Chain A
């Protein structure tokens, strides 16, 4: 099931992600974080974690090293 999530992230990467020349302020990047999260926690919890990470990835946050725990 998690493969669907990983595929979705890759689809995003080659389409929208490729169009916008931004590199994420976190490490691993938001998309990599989403892949890791879905792999480790499953599709549902992983998606929630990835969503929360995306919300944190705004111009006011600090960024930095932030792997899936």
Chain B
């Protein structure tokens, strides 16, 4: 039996140890209380992820410019989800869009979460020597105990639901209304599962959600909307002046062999119909009806 558990938990043990080490460092060396060490750990993780998420928010902003066309595609293939997806992917490719969502940043948080879960569990079983203060802001008596053991836990759960909904508003990449609604209901369902987790884990979740919300607000306010990547493609049409101020688009679409500056007439587009809408500089032609 011990062998079996060793086999099952072998990939988790190093994770747990790492989390425990980081928490120990934050507590003993930096001098934070245990609960705040968890908050700090969360912030560290999210800071590492900043380049990924900022990039994600940017491409989401670009994506919103194409929302009308994408809605059209969704309407057209309403009955066939598979076909709809394929057409959307084709549309992305044709218009040189980088879809916002990606699995890697989301998956990166999974090991952190598992590690924290196990280290909090072992906190409850084998607490560190000496008198330890596991409380948080005077309303959570212990971060290692189940969330529902104290009224403060319920407060934390309410905050969790609110923050999860808010972060969904910022980070959900889908424009589909029903799907969005489903994602908004999800935290209410999950609250019943999460209630059985240690309070520290919910604390992690609340922190990471609040970070998401704050990051969304800041990036939206600070950073001007990046021009859609296809402005590069259309450089033969746009005056050279506009080329210089559109270089904040970043990577992903650097190569444009067909954008020869000497071409007098519009370069032949790669895709089929509906080009006028892509010339964003001209207000009158921007909309296709």
Q: Which of B59, B89, B101, B171 contacts A64 (CB 8 A)?
A: B89
A58 touches B172 (CB 8 A): no
For B179, what are the chain A residues with a Cβ–Cβ distance below 8 Å? 23
- Give which listed residue, B52, B174, B186, B252, contacts A19 with CB less than 8 A: B186
Does A1 count as interface, using CB distance less than 8 angstroms? no
Question: Are the CB atoms of B89 and A57 closer together than 8 Å?
Answer: no
Chain A, range 39-69, C-beta contacts under 8 Å to B: 54-55, 57-65
Q: How large is the interface on B (under 10, 10 to 19, 20 to 34, 35 or more residues)?
A: 35 or more
CA distance A64 to B241 in the complex (A): 32
Among the interface residues A18, A20, A29, which one has the most CB atoms of the partner chain B within 10 A?
Answer: A20
CB-defined contacts of B186 to chain A, threshold 8 Å: 18-19, 21
Distance in angstroms from B264 CB to nearest chain A CB is 31
Residues of A within 8 A of B52 (CB): 58-59
Q: Is the CB of A19 within 8 A of B190?
A: yes
Residue in contact with B89 in the complex, picked from A22, A30, A60, A65, CB distance below 8 Å:
A65
Question: Hey, which chain B residues are within 8 Å of A57, CB to CB?
Answer: 102-104
Instruction: State the majority secondary structure of interface residues on A.
Output: loop
Residue of B55, B90, B104, B173 touching A23 (CB-CB under 8 A): B173
Number of A interface residues at 8 Å Cβ cutoff, please give it.
24
The answer to whether B89 and A21 have CB atoms under 8 Å apart is no
Whether A25 contacts B101 by the Cβ 8 Å rule is yes
Question: Which of chain B's residues have a CB closer than 8 A to the CB of A22?
Answer: 101-103, 106, 171-173
Contacts of B173 in A (CB 8 A): 21-23
Closest to B90 in A: A65
CA distance A9 to B110 in the complex (A): 14
Given contacts A22-B172, A61-B98, A64-B93, list 9 more A-B pairs with CB under 8 A. A16-B110, A21-B173, A23-B179, A25-B102, A27-B86, A57-B104, A59-B56, A59-B102, A60-B55
Binding site for A on B (CB under 8 A): 52, 55-56, 59, 85-86, 88-90, 92-93, 98-107, 110, 113, 168, 171-174, 179-180, 183, 186, 190, 251-252
Sampled A-B contacts (7; CB under 8 Å): A21-B180, A22-B172, A26-B89, A59-B56, A62-B252, A63-B89, A65-B86
